[in-house]
Structure 1
Amino acid sequence: MDVLAFVIGVLVMVIGLGVSIALHEVGHLVPAKRFGVRVGQYMIGMGPTLWSRKRGETEYGFKAFPVGGYISMAGMYPRTQPAPSEPALAGAAARAERRRGLYATLVQDAQAANAETLEGVDDSRTFHRLPVWKRVIIMLGGPIMNLVLAVVMFAVLFSGIGMQQATTTVATVAECVLPAGSTATECSAGDPEAPAHAAGVLPGDRLVSLAGEPVETFAEASEVIRARPGAAIPLVVERDGDEVSLTLTPIENQVEVTGADGAASVEQVGYAGVSASVERVRQPIWTGPQAAFENVGAVVRIVADLPARLYDTAYDLFTGGERDADGPMSVVGVGRLAGEVAATDAPILDRVGVMVSLLASLNIALFVFNLVPLLPLDGGHIVIALWDGLRRALARLTGRPEPAPTDATRLVPLTLVVVVLLVGMGALLFAADIFNPVQLLGG
C-alpha cells in the first residue's frame, strides 16, 4: 500500500468532513443573523478552543476535536422568571438537589446556563421569541446545507466526472468456449469456437445493430443475444469508419437467475463471447439530485433500523464476523476507506470519483441524522418550535391568551440520555472500525 497516498486520502476526508460541518453551522448562522438573533459563538469542533477571533458580537473559532460544531444563540430556551443571580442559582441548585434529586438539578443547571446567554440581550433578539417559521428555518438551515452539498457532489460525480459504463465498442473477443467450471486460460483443440469469433467480430468494432434493431448500449445488445440462443442474428458493426455486416449465432449457455421472489432458477440463454469496453459517460444533470434523494431514503432506512444494526455491529466486533457494508460507520471507518481508495492502483479519476461519492454520502448522513426529532439534534428543536406553533394556534382558536414558549430545559435529563446513547454509539462504531473494519476493497 502507498502510505503517502493513504495519508492523503484520510486528510482529504477529514478536511471534507470539517468543511461539511462548517457549512452546516453556516446554514444555522446566516438565517439566525438575518432574523436578528444574537449569536455569541460560531465554533468548529468540540473541546478546548485552539483559535478564535471576535468579529462584531460573534466569536469565531476552532476547537481541538473535529467531531462537530455549534453556534451559540441567545435564548435557545425561554427566559426563566425571575432571572436569578449567580448566588441565587447556586443556592437554588443545591436546594433542588436535596429536595428533588438529579432531575431537578439538571433542569436548574440548564436554566442557569440559559440565563447566562440572556444577560444584557434584548428579549426581541432571542431565538425563542422568533415566530415559529423563523425558528424552523434556522434549525433546518444546517441539515439543508448538507443536503445541498450532497446534491452538488453527486452532480459533480455523475455529470462532471461521469460514471463508468459498458459501451457498444467491443473490448475482447473470446476464441473458444471453455467448459463450465474450467480454470483454463487458453483454448485447447477440443474447445468449440466462440460465436463472435466465428462471426468475424474484432476488438475495436462498434456494435451498430442486432437482428435489424439499432443498439445504443451494450446492455441492449446483450439482451438480444441472450434471448436468441441457437438463432442466426444479422449483426452490423462499425470498423474503421465503415459498416460491416456479419451473422452471429449465439450458443446455448446455462445461467442461474434470481426471480423477484428471491427463488433461484436455471435458464438457457445465448452466449457470444464478447466483452465491452468501459468508458466514463457523463450523465444528465438531474442524475445527481436523483442519486442524492435515493441515498436519503437508504440512510433513513438505516437510521430507522439503527438499534438492530448496532447490535449486529457489536456482535460482529466480538465474534470477528464480516461487517455489513451497508451498515453504520464512524468517521474513523470513512477515513480508513478514503485512505484505501487513495492508495489503490487505479486511475486518478476513479479514485477521485469514489472520494466524492464518500463525501456526498457523508453529507446525506449528516442531513438525515440531524433531523432525528430528539434534543440536542436539530430535529428536536424543530419539533419544539412546531409544538409551540400548535399551542399558539389552538389558543387563538379558543380565544385564550397566547401561551408562554415551551421550556425545553425541562427536557434536559432526556437530552442527557440521548447524548449518552450517542456517545456510546460512537464508541462502538469507533471500536468496530478499528478492530473489525468494513471490507469494501478486499481483505
Structure 2
Amino acid sequence: MTPLLYTLGVVFFVLAILASIGLHELGHMIPAKAFGGKVTQYFIGFGPTVWSKQVGETEYGVKAIPLGGYVKIVGMLPPAAEDLDEDAEHPQYDEDGNRVIRIRKSNTGMFTQLVSDARAAEWEHIKPGDEDRLFYRMAWWKKVIVMAGGPTVNLLIAFFIFWGVFGLYGTRTPEPDAGQPVIDTVSRCVIPYNEEGRDCAASDPPAPAYEAGLRPGDVITSFNGTSVRDWDQLRALIRANDNGRAVIVYERDGVERTGTTSTTVELRPASASDLTVSQVGFLGVTPTFHTAVVYGGPVYTLQEMGGMTVQTVEALGQLPVKVYGVGRAIVGAQEREQDSPVSIVGGGRIAGEVASTDKAQVTEKAVFLLLLVAGFNLFIGLFNFIPLLPLDGGHIAGALYEAIRRGVARARHRPDPGYVDVAKLLPVAYVVASALLVMGVVLIVGDLVVPVRTEF
C-alpha cells in the first residue's frame, strides 16, 4: 500500500463528497431564490466557521466539520396561531409602511417551549419587508420544488456518473466459461466467508474439494450421479447438498477419474451481486471465468439505477438493524458484515485502499472510485426523501399535506385551513436527528475500529 496513493484516494473521495454536498445545497438555494425566497446562509460543513463571505443578502462559507451542509431559508417555521400578535382585519405597519408581525414567547411545557424557542429563533432572522418572502408562505408546489431540489441533484450526479461509466467503460461482470466447468482454483482449507483473503491456518479444516483430489484444470462432468452441464447447475447441486456425501466425476488430461468427499455447511452469499448469506453446502472450487462487458446509454443507466434504488430502499429499511450490528462488531460481539453501511470515514478509507492497491489497473481504480461516489450520491438522495423531519422529505410531506388539506377544503366549500404548521413536528424531528447522530457516530467508530474490507 503506497501512502501517497492512499492519501490521494481519500482526498479525492472527500472532495467529491463535499462537491456533492455543495451541489445539493445549491439545489435548495437556487429555486428558493428564484421563487422570491430569502436565503441568508449557504454553508458546507457544520461547527465553527473556517471561511465565509457576504454576497448580497447571502453569506457563503465553509465550516470545520465536513459532514454535511445547509442553506438558511428565512421563514421555514410559521408562527403559531395562538402566538401570532397580528390582527388580520386591522394589520399594523411600521413607519416605513411594512406590516408588523410579532411573536410572543409565553409557552410552558418542555416540548411546547422547544417549539416556541425554535419559532422565536426562526423569526429573529426576519426583517421588515420580508413578510412576502417567507418560505412557509410559498405555494405548496414551490415548497416541494425547493426541498426536493437538493436530493434530486444527488440523484442527477449519480445518474451522470453511472452513465459515463456504463457508456465508456461498460458493466463488467465475471461469468463462468460455457460448458462443463473447468476448475480454476481449489481451496486447500475452509476459510469463513467473512475472513476470506487470509492464508490457511493450522486450525482450518481441509476443503472437501482438496480432499477429493480435485486440482486446477480438472473438468467436472458429474456430481452425485447427475451429469453436469455448466457451473450454475453444479453450484446449485453443491449448495443443496449441505454436508452430505459427494461423489464427483471429473476429467484430467482426458482421463476420467472419481473423487469422493462430503461437502461442508458454510455461510456463503447468494451470488456475486447478492451478498445475503445463508447456510449452504460448500466444496471449495471456482471455475474458469471470462469478463462479460455490456455498454449502455441513458435508458440502460436508468434501468440499472432502478435496480439499485430497490436495493437501497430495502437497505434503508434495515438500516437500524445493520447499524446495531456494527455496534456489536465494535465491542467484539460479532464480526462486521461485508454489506454493512459505512460513513464518509469508511468511504474515504475504502477509496484510499482501492487507490493504493497493486491488484488493479489505474482504469479499474478510477472506475471503482467513480462508482463509489455515485453510490454515495444515490444513497444520500434517496435517504433525504424519507418523509421525516428534519430530512427534506419531511418538508415535502408537509407541503403535500397542505395541498391536500386545502384542496379538500375547497371541494367541500369550507374556509381555507391555512398553512401546515411543521413546527408541531419538531419533537419528532429532534428524536429523528438524535437517532441519526447516534447512528452516524456508531458508523464512524466502526469504520475506524472494524472497517469493511475491500474486495481488491
What TM-score does the superposition give when structure 1 sets the normalisation length? 0.74
Paired residues for 1:205-220 under 5 Å? none
The answer to whether the 8 A contact 1:322-1:438 is kept is no
The equivalent residue for 2:165 is: 157
1:254-297: CA deviations, max 9, x gaps? Answer: 9989999x896899xxx9x9945547653454332222222221
One of 299, 315, 319 as aligned partner of 1:302: 315
What is the rounded CA distance, in whole Å, between the counterparts of 1:390 and 1:177 in structure 2? 62
1:223-246: CA deviations, max 9, x gaps? Answer: 8999xx99xxxxxxxxxxxxxxxx
Paired residues for 1:18-417 under 5 Å? 18-80=18-80, 81-82=84-85, 93=105, 96=107, 100-165=108-173, 180-181=209-210, 275=288, 278=291, 282-319=295-332, 321-345=334-358, 346-417=360-431
What is the rounded CA distance, in whole Å, between the counterparts of 2:387 and 2:172 in structure 1? 39
What is the rounded CA distance, in whole Å, between the counterparts of 1:176 and 1:421 in structure 2? 47
5+ residue gaps, structure 2: 87-91, 93-101, 187-207, 221-228, 236-247, 272-277
Deviation at 1:184, TM superposition (A): 9.2
SS of structure 1 residue aligned to 2:446: helix
The answer to whether the 8 A contact 1:79-1:118 is kept is no
The answer to whether the 8 A contact 1:177-1:194 is kept is no
The equivalent residue for 1:209 is: none
The equivalent residue for 1:9 is: 9
After superposition, the CA RMSD in angstroms is 4.1
Change (3 A) 1:251 1:349: farther
What is the rounded CA distance, in whole Å, between the counterparts of 1:176 and 1:325 in structure 2? 25
Letter in 2 for 1:119: K
Indicate yes or no: 2:441 matched with 1:427.
Answer: yes
What is the rounded CA distance, in whole Å, between the counterparts of 2:164 and 2:292 in structure 1? 17
Letter in 1 for 2:210: G
Letter in 1 for 2:425: L
Letter in 2 for 1:372: I
Deviation at 1:378, TM superposition (A): 0.2
Change (3 A) 1:124 1:38: same
Deviation at 1:221, TM superposition (A): 9.1
**Structure number with bigger Rg:** 1
The answer to whether the 8 A contact 1:135-1:385 is kept is yes
What is the rounded CA distance, in whole Å, between the counterparts of 2:215 and 2:257 in structure 1? 19
The equivalent residue for 1:201 is: none
The equivalent residue for 1:200 is: none
Letter in 2 for 1:326: D
The answer to whether the 8 A contact 1:77-1:114 is kept is yes
Letter in 1 for 2:27: G
Deviation at 1:162, TM superposition (A): 2.4
Letter in 2 for 1:325: Q
The answer to whether the 8 A contact 1:22-1:69 is kept is yes
The answer to whether the 8 A contact 2:140-2:403 is kept is yes
SS of structure 1 residue aligned to 2:125: helix
Change (3 A) 1:58 1:177: closer
SS of structure 1 residue aligned to 2:68: strand
Deviation at 1:130, TM superposition (A): 1.5
The answer to whether the 8 A contact 1:384-1:408 is kept is yes
The answer to whether the 8 A contact 1:78-1:407 is kept is yes
The answer to whether the 8 A contact 1:396-1:402 is kept is yes
Looking at secondary structure, tell me which structure has more helix per residue. Answer: 1
Change (3 A) 1:276 1:316: closer
Number of residue-to-residue matches in the alignment: 383
Letter in 2 for 1:376: P
Deviation at 1:122, TM superposition (A): 3.4
Change (3 A) 1:121 1:343: farther
Q: Which moved more, 1:156-165 or 1:281-290?
A: 281-290
What is the rounded CA distance, in whole Å, between the counterparts of 1:176 and 1:66 in structure 2? 46
Letter in 1 for 2:148: L
What is the rounded CA distance, in whole Å, between the counterparts of 1:253 and 1:168 in structure 2? 22
Change (3 A) 1:252 1:57: farther
Deviation at 1:8, TM superposition (A): 0.7
Deviation at 1:360, TM superposition (A): 0.9
SS of structure 2 residue aligned to 1:54: strand
Change (3 A) 1:19 1:184: farther
SS of structure 1 residue aligned to 2:66: strand
Deviation at 1:153, TM superposition (A): 1.2
The answer to whether the 8 A contact 1:320-1:436 is kept is no
SS of structure 1 residue aligned to 2:395: helix
Deviation at 1:39, TM superposition (A): 1.3
Letter in 1 for 2:10: V
Deviation at 1:79, TM superposition (A): 3.8
The answer to whether the 8 A contact 1:42-1:58 is kept is yes
What is the rounded CA distance, in whole Å, between the counterparts of 1:177 and 1:416 in structure 2? 54
Change (3 A) 1:366 1:176: closer
Letter in 2 for 1:147: L
